Amino acid sequence: MIIKELYETRKDGVKLYKTYSTDGYLIKQNETGDIYEEAIDVENANFTYQETDEKIETTNLNQEPPQE
């Protein structure tokens, strides 16, 4: 599911909103076709997003290196 939530308010009062997939998928900006892990836009930006079918690649930093 796509979530859009308040990310922060800048010192000049402009609100920034973060859009991301709750299921760990990349998101696609419909207007440009650009692909993101998450997007941060100003409050009145007219961008819309949809989930892709591609999972975000994650690296497990706690994983031990393979044995030789």
Q: In this predicted model, what pLDDT tens digit does every residue of 23-67 receive, in sequence order?
A: 999 999 999 999 999 999 999 999 999 999 999 998 766 666 666
Q: What is the pLDDT of residue 59?
A: 76
The mean pLDDT value for 12-17 works out to 98
The mean pLDDT value for 1-9 works out to 97
Q: Please state the domain extents for the chain.
A: 2-55
Q: What is the pLDDT of residue 58?
A: 82
Q: What is the pLDDT of residue 8?
A: 98
Alpha-carbon distance of 39 to 49, in angstroms, equals 9
Global confidence as pTM: 0.80
